Chain A
């Protein structure tokens, strides 16, 4: 059923194209000079039909579900929803939908069956209505486009104007995405701060988000002080950078200045493989190999080591970041003008001195930009910490302890069933907001440094 409007659209587009081309040809064979080539007349019709009708279909399909649901829920017999929370109403809606989809569990009440029937009825009606509207619209647009065909009609300009606007729309989607992210995060975060004061979230030292779902349930009261979570992220990111920065920088220095081309040609692709490994694989590597190895080593020297340490998570994250830092540093070193290099060597510096005292300082801004981007990657990295770090927030900076991280909390709070009306879910969005702001600031700063630095030597 959903495919029908699209098929109609496709047919309408082909028909419109063909009709306009025919018309244009007829004018030309009649001896007139066309302003635009024939196929522009065809394309004009095609775009005129497809763009508005496709927009309509997509908007219709996006809104159809929630409108039909709303109609069904409001048509339920009075009284059945009285005294129910929004979560329970959502559950009833889901049950009606699954009955309509033919998945019936147990023996639902009669009014639910009737509602499911109505749901199917509305869906069908909406489908037919859409088909009718799309057909009429396409026919109208085809006729309109046909009526435009004339010897002096500037079809090419028409086509170009439409494509230009389409391209502008594509470019603006990126803006929409950012606006969507900011809107979604702000909206849910504000709802969170209505329940939990901002000061408690930002400065509280206790993080226990497991609040009771039912009233009679025995559980923690729920505490939303995010400081230990932030601290955990900082500890893990620090461990990661302590590994990634030296290894990445020395790799870049060696590859850039000292290595024979043959070694460079081997090592570079290997580093690219390291960069291309999905993070879920690194996470599994952390729990399969690194964490047991660290624990065994700790036991052998008599140190108590937790099972999911910041060291394992951060260490593996550091390995993930090595290629990131080395490629940034390599680019920065390569961007330093040849004259600086040659000048230092001509003055009698060894290649090592040239690298350490001339090239490296000159490349520092680019390298710092790269490291900042790596920091933002480290605090935003999710899968490694979700799999290898702990769940319980502790105020500790000991990397051998089990610590949690912002991204871990976001994922664990949102996995499972989520309704948007309890602080537990909303807390994840507040954490997401913090993460987004932190990475945004670092990124803007880093990109500015990198760009400015490039301009100096370009």
Chain B
């Protein structure tokens, strides 16, 4: 037996085909290894790009989460700020005087020197002082301690974003300005607390004062409108198409239509909104309501597709059991199938809303990129949204806006991650395997 087998195998080894295969095997294996390494290289490329993307945005954005502040002891001079003249008054002069205390060599009568001195403070500093005094006029005549934001160039300097070694003419602030700032630093007047203004302020021309409040409120209203419209419409359409629609030409047409709508470029939806909602219906420009309406049209196909998948996943036995005990078709769907499909529907909706939150182009076309310094109080007021605010800031020339833009992106990504995490949580918690 054994002999015969070994004889056979020896014969097989001598088989010319086997020989050829064996000889080619290493070449063929090399080819496979090559294919695999291409695959690994492709994955590394994609992951590397994501890493660079996030890395560059985090490394430029984290600066914006702190803001350089200057601590001042301000004597609210009744001669400059008379109580009966509020809210007018020489607030800037009072601040200049408070600064000049630390720089004995500077004569405030020299206007250039005075401007150079106060340029360390943000342009908004006088308004901070004004609001404080207006809300409590008894402060006039007292010395109050006030922490005001530093202006953008000095903020950059404090964060080490201005190279002190570069020749003076290539720098935005000259040596004298640096010396003045360093003196303030020696005096312990400079601090860099958490930049709450990033969330509590609306947009501003000055980077150190610009915040995201207007954009967050605008995005909130737009998403709310989007949800209120697209959620019921999407579920209604999906239930009809999945459970009730007869299989004929018309329902086919609707179905093809929905699939195509999901792939129409977003800028085309912006054109639709501009021509129809604003041009024909006369709805206000820049309003989150119009933005929400547009986003709803874009989100609806996503919700319809997700809802149909969720409805399909409910096993027929549930339907048959309900029908068997005498429920009507509507009672089966609304009483049994829909509640079971709800987790899937909600997951799809949240993912759809997350996409809508990041959508920019249609909002640009309906004018949600306006410069607005107060937060909207209703969905019909002018407002910006998070992504359009990012676009505006990315276009602004001031250096300080680069880190603000990255910080705004981080805020946006944080919202997206949260929404997707909620969706994943819902899916894993409530998804039922039948």
In this assembly, does A319 line the interface, its C-beta being within 8 Å of a C-beta of chain B? yes
Q: Chain A residues with Cβ under 8 A from B139's Cβ? A: none
Docked complex Cα distance between A242 and B232 (Å): 41
Contact yes or no, B267 A380, CB < 8 A: yes
Contact yes or no, B232 A178, CB < 8 A: no
B413 touches which one: A160, A281, A319 (CB < 8 A)? Answer: A281
Contact yes or no, B274 A414, CB < 8 A: yes
B: contact size bracket: 35 or more
Contact yes or no, B413 A382, CB < 8 A: no
Contact yes or no, A173 B364, CB < 8 A: no
Contact yes or no, A387 B328, CB < 8 A: no
In this assembly, does B4 line the interface, its C-beta being within 8 Å of a C-beta of chain A? no
Q: Chain B residues with Cβ under 8 A from A436's Cβ? A: 264-265, 268
Contact yes or no, B32 A353, CB < 8 A: yes
Docked complex Cα distance between A188 and B273 (Å): 13
Q: Which residue of A lies closest to B39 (CB)?
A: A254
Which of the segments B108-116, B193-201, B353-361 contacts the partner chain? B353-361
B275 touches which one: A167, A173, A187 (CB < 8 A)? Answer: A187
In this assembly, does B322 line the interface, its C-beta being within 8 Å of a C-beta of chain A? no
Per-residue CB proximity of B4-29 to A under 8 Å, as 1/0? 00000000000000000100000011
Q: Which residue of A lies closest to B35 (CB)?
A: A352
Per-residue CB proximity of A125-161 to B under 8 Å, as 1/0? 0000000000000000000000000000000100110
Classify the interface of chain A: helix, strand, loop or mixed.
helix
In this assembly, does B276 line the interface, its C-beta being within 8 Å of a C-beta of chain A? yes
Contact yes or no, B275 A184, CB < 8 A: yes
> Chain A nearest CB: distance from B370 CB in Å?
10
Contact yes or no, B234 A276, CB < 8 A: no
Q: Identify which of residues 244-282 in chain B touch chain A, using a CB-to-CB cut-off of 8 Å.
A: 244-245, 253-254, 256-261, 263-272, 274-276, 279, 281-282
In this assembly, does B134 line the interface, its C-beta being within 8 Å of a C-beta of chain A? no
Contact yes or no, A411 B275, CB < 8 A: no
Q: Chain A residues with Cβ under 8 A from B365's Cβ? A: 410-411, 414-415
In this assembly, does A270 line the interface, its C-beta being within 8 Å of a C-beta of chain B? yes
In this assembly, does B36 line the interface, its C-beta being within 8 Å of a C-beta of chain A? yes
Contact yes or no, A435 B265, CB < 8 A: yes
Which of the segments A71-79, A111-119, A243-251 contacts the partner chain? A243-251
Q: Which residue of A lies closest to B260 (CB)?
A: A443
A174 touches which one: B272, B275, B304, B330 (CB < 8 A)? Answer: B304
Contact yes or no, A319 B35, CB < 8 A: no
Q: Chain A residues with Cβ under 8 A from B330's Cβ? A: 156, 159-160, 163-164
Contact yes or no, A173 B265, CB < 8 A: no
In this assembly, does B369 line the interface, its C-beta being within 8 Å of a C-beta of chain A? yes
A168 touches which one: B39, B240, B260 (CB < 8 A)? Answer: B240
Docked complex Cα distance between A104 and B263 (Å): 45
In this assembly, does A253 line the interface, its C-beta being within 8 Å of a C-beta of chain B? yes
Given A173-B237, A353-B28, the answer on whether A278 and B360 have CB atoms closer than 8 Å is yes
Contact yes or no, A383 B391, CB < 8 A: yes
> Chain A nearest CB: distance from B42 CB in Å?
4
Contact yes or no, A285 B57, CB < 8 A: yes
Q: Identify which of residues 417-447 in chain A touch chain B, using a CB-to-CB cut-off of 8 Å.
A: 418, 420, 428-429, 432, 435-436, 439-440, 443-444, 447
Which of the segments A6-14, A21-29, A62-70 contacts the partner chain? A62-70
Docked complex Cα distance between A444 and B40 (Å): 33
In this assembly, does A53 line the interface, its C-beta being within 8 Å of a C-beta of chain B? no
Q: Identify which of residues 348-364 in chain A touch chain B, using a CB-to-CB cut-off of 8 Å.
A: 348, 350-353, 355-356
> Chain B nearest CB: distance from A191 CB in Å?
11
Contact yes or no, A62 B281, CB < 8 A: yes
A188 touches which one: B233, B234, B269, B275 (CB < 8 A)? Answer: B275
Contact yes or no, A270 B50, CB < 8 A: yes
Per-residue CB proximity of A271-296 to B under 8 Å, as 1/0? 10110111111111101110000000
Contact yes or no, B32 A350, CB < 8 A: yes
Contact yes or no, B260 A284, CB < 8 A: no
In this assembly, does A169 line the interface, its C-beta being within 8 Å of a C-beta of chain B? yes
> Chain B nearest CB: distance from A241 CB in Å?
15
Given A387-B391, A420-B275, 11 more A-B residue pairs with CB atoms under 8 Å apart are A164-B244, A167-B237, A167-B239, A171-B237, A185-B275, A277-B413, A278-B360, A377-B263, A387-B394, A411-B267, A420-B279
* B residues at A contact (CB < 8 Å): 21, 28-29, 31-36, 38-43, 45-47, 49-50, 52-53, 56-57, 60, 232-237, 239-241, 244-245, 253-254, 256-261, 263-272, 274-276, 279, 281-283, 297, 300-301, 304, 328-330, 334, 354-355, 357-361, 364-365, 369, 387, 390-391, 394, 402, 405-406, 409, 412-413, 416, 420
Interface pairs A-B: 10 shortest CB-CB: A254-B39, A380-B265, A278-B358, A352-B32, A170-B236, A184-B275, A250-B42, A167-B240, A382-B361, A171-B237
